[in-house]
Amino acid sequence: MGFLLRLARQWVAGEAMDDAIRVAKEANARGIEAVVNHLGEHYREKAPVEATVREYLQLLATMRTEGIRGEVSIKPTQFGVFIEKEYALSQMLPVLDASKADGRVLWLDMESAATTDDTIWLCERLLERYGRVGICLQANLKRTTSDLERLIRDRARIRLVKGAYKEAAEGAYRSRAEIDRAYAEHLGTLFTQARDFAVASHDGRMIDRALALAKEHPTPFEFAMLQGVRDPLKAELVRQGHRVAEYIPYGPNWLPYFTRRLRERPRNVMTMARSFVSG
């Protein structure tokens, strides 16, 4: 596990909150906002959910005392949505209140398609209490066209991603070309109908398209990328005057996140193995 953690460190701040705060400070120093996530998912018992709530409250308190610019992003299955969605909502409310006290956005990650309806339900309930709530939508899901319209109407903030979960063919686009086409279409919708959204991709073509749309339809938005990915591009976008956010995950449960990142970019396995052997 020690070996794997060293490999995972490219994308994961570390196992402790201090690691996330350090990486968030470094991001802030580079002109980048932090979006911090405490790793953990698929909880089916209340004890880990309630520990997660305490962790986020401590995290937000530390972000305040350390003067971190940024937000937190939470996963519905780490707040107990598999136990019951009403229970998950009750567990999210203290985190919503703490985010609200500092005027921070509360982001909801989007997990596999089995949780999409409940995640939208949670987002809408949270929005009834606080206007600065964001939700991730995935271009690989066919339903996203209508979810996007609905959530723009709700005035939710949208983080548009390609989607990190393998989904059944009937509800999802599987080819890269189809997913890219959907992503580009949703970008058009966001730039013409929404504001305060996040273009969350490392794909130069999608970023160029967003830059072109931003010229044609000026509206407040940000670019969002993962920790450890495309740092020179982040710096260049900051230099051009764009708002850039970095998603910073931390915590002992980093293995599923690490596995998703490796699956996306198998060539990283070779690069990391090589640098490990030589270093």
Ligand X SMILES: Cc1cc2nc3c(=O)[nH]c(=O)nc-3n(C[C@H](O)[C@H](O)[C@H](O)COP(=O)(O)OP(=O)(O)OC[C@H]3O[C@@H](n4cnc5c(N)ncnc54)[C@H](O)[C@@H]3O)c2cc1C
Binding site for ligand X (CB under 6 A): 109-110, 136, 138, 159, 161-165, 200-204, 224-226, 229-230, 247, 264-265
Say if residue 176 is exposed, middle or buried (CB neighbours under 10 Å; 0-12, 13-18, 19+).
Answer: exposed
117 is known as an active-site residue: no
User: Residue 229 or 238: which CB sits closer to ligand X?
Assistant: 229
Which tokens belong to 212? 């072109």
Smallest separation (angstroms) from ligand X to the CB of 191:
17
Please tell me the distance from the alpha carbon of residue 227 to that of residue 224, in angstroms, as a whole number: 10
**Quick one: which of 255, 139, 258, 256 has its CA closest to 203?**
139
Minimum CB separation of residue 35 from ligand X in Å reads: 6
Active site residue 159: yes
Helix ranges (H only) for the chain are 2-8, 17-29, 46-65, 85-101, 116-127, 144-153, 176-193, 204-216, 231-239, 255-264, 267-278
Nearer to ligand X, 159 or 242 (CB): 159
Output the smallest distance, CB 22 to ligand X, in A.
19
Which residue of the set 104, 109, 147, 180 is catalytic?
Answer: 109
Catalytic residue among 159, 180, 209, 261: 159
Closest contact distance (angstroms) between CB of 137 and ligand X is 9
Instruction: Compute how many other C-beta atoms are within 10 angstroms of the C-beta atom of residue 28.
Output: 17
* Closer Cβ to ligand X, 162 or 242, answer by number: 162
Interstrand relation of 133-138 and 106-108 (parallel, antiparallel or unpaired): parallel
> How far apart are CB 165 and ligand X at their closest, in Å?
5
Of residues 125 and 230, the one with the C-beta less far from ligand X = 230
Q: DSSP 3-state assignment of 35?
A: strand
Q: Name the residue nearer to ligand X (CB basis): 63 or 245.
A: 245
Closest CA to 199 of 260, 235, 253, 158: 158
Cβ atoms 143, 170 nearer than 8 A: no
Quote the tokens at residue 191: 């730039």
Alpha-carbon distance of 251 to 36, in angstroms, equals 11
- Residues with a catalytic annotation lie at 109, 159
